[in-house]
Amino acid sequence: MLLKIGDVVAQEAFEYTGKVLGAKLADAVGHTSPEAIFIMGGLAKAGDLIFKPTIKHFEKNLLHIYQGKIKVLPSELNSTHTPIIGAASLILKDIMTKKGLVI
């Protein structure tokens, strides 16, 4: 179990992490206007312990036009493949940029 009931220090750590993450994700929304944000890796494995405070602070910090419209979800990608996917996306972006097809 990640968190024992009554573990105040752990609860505060998840709340603080969710506060910072939620605020920064809200900042990113202003620049990217996504439909959803996917969180993965060890952080996402904490489930509601991290998602509840993150979503709370995310919604609190969003511009009003985005509130209640953007989902924050755990990624379903296998974490062993994500470095390859990330590298491939950078290569694709470089190729597209060189061809004048900026994405």
What pLDDT does 37 receive?
Answer: 95
**How many structural domains is the chain composed of?**
1
The answer on pLDDT for 76 being more than 60 is yes
HSE toward the beta carbon, residue 38, CA cutoff 13 A? 8
Which is more confidently placed, 48 or 1? 48
Residue 33's domain comprises 8-76
Domain annotation covers residue 23:
yes
State residue 39 phi and psi, 5-degree precision: -110, 140
HSE toward the beta carbon, residue 26, CA cutoff 13 A? 21
Q: What is the CA radius of gyration of the chain?
A: 17
Give residue-wise pLDDT tens across range 26-56.
Answer: 999 989 999 999 998 888 889 999 999 999 9
Domain annotation covers residue 96:
no
Domain annotation covers residue 40:
yes
Instruction: List, in sequence order, every beta strand (DSSP E) within 1-87.
Output: 36-39, 71-74
Say what the pTM is.
Answer: 0.74
Instruction: Please say whether the beta carbons of 75 and 39 come within 8 A.
Output: yes
